Amino acid sequence: MSNLSAASAAPSVVHAEFHIERTFAASPQREFRAFADPAARALWFSGTPGKSELLERVMDFRVGGREVLKAKWTGGRVRTFDAVFHAIIQDQRILCSYNTFMEARKLSVSLATIQIRAAAGGTPLKGSEQGALLDGF
């Protein structure tokens, strides 16, 4: 199945990456739980209230497990986040890859790494993502 509409130009890929680091006044266990626990994750990883309707949420947090979040925006378009967990070290690291779609069109493919470490004065969290943005997205 092609990602391009009839009006699209030739297939293209733009590579991008970003890195963020923040120190939180929380334990490594609490930071890890914000990603690993389905109820905690749903508190911050969801659509904007009143702007989207949740259609599907799956969270199987284990190596080889998947996370899926599908929502319908107020304009009617459906956006899907579909991830696979590749490496998990309790309270220290999460590595996943994910695809994003708008309707049936694949917008991007990304690799995300979350690193958590204990330190004096707080818990640093480092997030890194590398992505391939497809066909003009």
Nearest Cα neighbor of 92 from 111, 114, 65 is 114
Average pLDDT, the chain: 91
Domain that holds residue 39: 14-134
The verdict on residue 1 lying in a domain is: no
In this prediction, residue 44 has a pLDDT band, given cuts at 50, 70 and 90, of confident
Determine the pLDDT at residue 48. Answer: 74
The verdict on residue 99 lying in a domain is: yes
Report percent pLDDT > 90 for the chain: 78
CATH code of the domain in which 111 resides: 3.30.530.20
In this prediction, residue 85 has a pLDDT band, given cuts at 50, 70 and 90, of very high
Q: Is the pLDDT of residue 8 over 70?
A: no
The verdict on residue 2 lying in a domain is: no
Number of structural domains in the chain = 1
The verdict on residue 8 lying in a domain is: no
The verdict on residue 57 lying in a domain is: yes
